[in-house]
């Protein structure tokens, strides 16, 4: 006689079926649920710079500093509770019309908080009306003309972590005086940047009894010879030349001065535009035959060891560079790195990507420990300059072309 079939209680069947169905649905719907999970919207940062300009490395230097900082920020969770920072670059080729068009495009870009600029003050000066009209937050990590920040905007949407001409010229002229070279000739680029430096030099000399400008000479962008202007300044009694130039023209001058008899070579103290391109390569061996100094705001050779180690690790994640000697445009890299971190903190403080809110937050930040210095604080109402006279230093090129600080 066969045994009766015993069925489990109905409630046990229901529980088993429910468990199997739940497990099946979890497997089937998991990919869809994951796909449907909201992706954090990136916070965009623009960079408007001279990428396509021959022999220039300044845009790439600023980009390297930005990407190094952005990598750190994103690895730490981004901004605004998990939103990644995204860099968008545009090339103005040192042409103001292109720069203006870039600013207009950035201003319309969804999610864009701020735009970083490049090396060339004349381009940014021409962009100022567009920045004002569009209320675009602008961060200056290299350009130095005073009017970029002293622009008359109310409220001011421009912040700078860089050199300022009204600080640069006094430092260069005072360095000449300390070296016993009180009679100085100015050799300036015929641009708004050159005129900004002339105003700063004349203001300094007006209150200094020990420095005299014997004569001022002007040159145009991409001039192929400067020696006649140099000789005119020397003939006027100049003991030193204070040069405001970028890499191309400075290299022309150095090659021409090196070709003169030793007795006709006088020291040249240069603004820092020369460090934003391939000046060392263009000048060649002549650079070691001329007394040539450059103003800087920062040197990796003098950086805080802990801050430097952090930066080098972050740079290694986005660049093959492993030695500080191989960093082109060191001030542009360091300034952009610090300024990006400061901006990220302001975005979090504002709790928003609204440009006005972030602009206001930049004035309210507390201390920030950066690569260049400890900012206490970086900015304040009425003070949109992060650096001052204390950060200035003079540097020279070693025989291997590396820029190192002097004792000046």
Nearest to 250 by CA among 216, 289, 287: 287
Q: Categorise residue 77: left if φ over 0, alpha if ψ from -120 to 50, beta otherwise.
A: left
Q: CATH: 2.40.50.140, 3.40.50.2300, 3.90.25.10, 3.40.190.150. Which one for 166-296?
A: 3.40.50.2300
- Residue 36: the pLDDT is 58
Strand (E) or helix (H) holding 234: helix 227-235
| Maximum Cα–Cα distance across the chain | 131
- Mind giving me the DSSP string for 128-171? HHHHHHHT-EEEESS---GGGTSS--SS--EEE-S--HHHHHHH
pLDDT at 13 over 60: no
pLDDT at 87: 98
Domain locations in the chain as residue ranges: 43-163+301-388, 166-296
Q: pLDDT band at residue 20, thresholds of 50, 70 and 90?
A: very low
User: What's the pLDDT tens digit per position in 209-265?
Assistant: 899 999 999 999 889 999 999 999 999 999 999 999 999 999 999 999 999 999 999
Q: How far apart are CA 356 and CA 166, in angstroms?
A: 28
- Give the residue-averaged pLDDT of 344-372: 98
Domains 43-163+301-388 and 166-296 share a fold: yes
Examine the pLDDT at 159 and tell me if it is beyond 70. yes
The predicted-structure confidence for 82-127, as pLDDT tens digits, reads as follows: 999 999 999 999 999 999 999 999 999 999 999 999 999 999 999 9
Write down the pLDDT at residue 38: 82
Please tell me the distance from the alpha carbon of residue 70 to that of residue 79, in angstroms, as a whole number: 10
Average confidence (pLDDT) over 309-315: 98
pLDDT digits (tens, 9 = 90+) for 164-221: 999 999 999 999 999 999 999 999 999 999 999 999 999 999 999 899 999 999 999 8
* Contact status, residue 273 vs residue 329, Cβ threshold 8 Å: no
Is the pLDDT at 53 greater than 50, yes or no? yes
For 43-163+301-388, CATH number out of 3.30.830.10, 3.40.50.2300, 2.30.140.10, 3.40.50.300 equals 3.40.50.2300
Rounded Cα gap, residues 119 and 272, in angstroms: 10
Q: If you compute the radius of gyration of the chain from its CA atoms, what whole number of angstroms results?
A: 28
Identify the pLDDT of residue 222: 87
What string of DSSP letters covers 174-224? HHHHHTT--EEEEEEESSHHHHHHHHHHHHHHHT-SS-EEEEEEEE-TT-S
Distance of CA 187 to the CA centre of its chain: 25
For the cut 50, the answer to whether the pLDDT of residue 327 exceeds it is yes
Is the pLDDT at 325 greater than 90, yes or no?
Answer: yes
Helix (H, G, I), strand (E, B) or coil at 292: strand
Tokens, residue 340: 């990006």
Distance, C-alpha 96 to centroid of its chain: 18
Contacts of 72 (CB under 8 A, 6+ apart): 310, 314, 341
């Amino acid at each position: 006689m066969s045994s009766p079939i015993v069925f489990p209680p109905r409630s046990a069947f229901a529980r088993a079926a429910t468990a199997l169905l739940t497990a099946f649905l979890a497997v089937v719907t998991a990919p869809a649920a994951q796909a449907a999970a909201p992706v954090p919207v990136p916070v965009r940062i623009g960079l408007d710079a001279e990428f396509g300009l021959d022999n220039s490395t300044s845009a790439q230097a600023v980009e390297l500093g930005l990407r190094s900082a952005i990598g750190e920020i994103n690895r730490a969770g981004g901004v605004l509770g998990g939103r990644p920072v995204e860099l968008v670059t545009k090339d103005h080729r040192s042409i103001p019309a292109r720069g203006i068009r870039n600013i207009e495009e950035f201003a319309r870009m969804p999610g864009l908080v701020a735009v970083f600029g490049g090396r060339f003050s004349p381009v940014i000066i021409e962009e100022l009306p567009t920045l004002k009209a569009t209320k675009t937050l602008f961060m200056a990590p290299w350009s130095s003309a005073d009017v970029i920040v002293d622009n008359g905007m109310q409220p001011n949407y421009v912040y700078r972590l860089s050199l300022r001409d009204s600080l640069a010229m006094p430092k260069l002229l005072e360095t000449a005086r300390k070296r016993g070279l009180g009679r100085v000739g100015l050799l300036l680029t015929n641009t708004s940047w050159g005129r900004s430096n002339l105003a700063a030099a004349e203001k300094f000399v007006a209150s200094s009894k020990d420095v005299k400008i014997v004569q001022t000479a002007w040159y145009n962008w991409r001039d192929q010879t400067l020696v006649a202007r140099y000789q005119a300044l020397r003939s006027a009694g100049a003991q030193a030349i204070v040069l405001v130039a970028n890499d191309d023209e400075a290299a022309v001058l150095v090659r021409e001065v090196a070709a003169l008899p030793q007795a006709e070579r006088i020291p040249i103290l240069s603004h820092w535009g020369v460090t934003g391109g391939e000046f060392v390569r263009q000048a060649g061996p002549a650079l070691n035959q001329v007394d040539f100094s450059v103003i800087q705001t920062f040197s990796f050779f003098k950086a805080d060891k802990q801050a430097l180690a952090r930066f080098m690790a972050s740079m290694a994640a986005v660049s093959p560079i492993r030695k500080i000697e191989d960093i082109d445009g060191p001030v542009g890299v360091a300034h952009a790195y610090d300024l990006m971190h400061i901006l990220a903190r302001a975005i979090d403080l504002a709790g928003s990507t609204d440009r006005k809110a972030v602009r206001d937050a930049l004035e309210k930040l507390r201390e920030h420990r950066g690569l260049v210095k400890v900012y206490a604080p970086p900015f304040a109402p009425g003070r949109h300059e992060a650096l001052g006279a204390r950060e200035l230093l003079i540097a020279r090129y070693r025989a291997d072309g590396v820029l190192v600080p002097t004792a000046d």
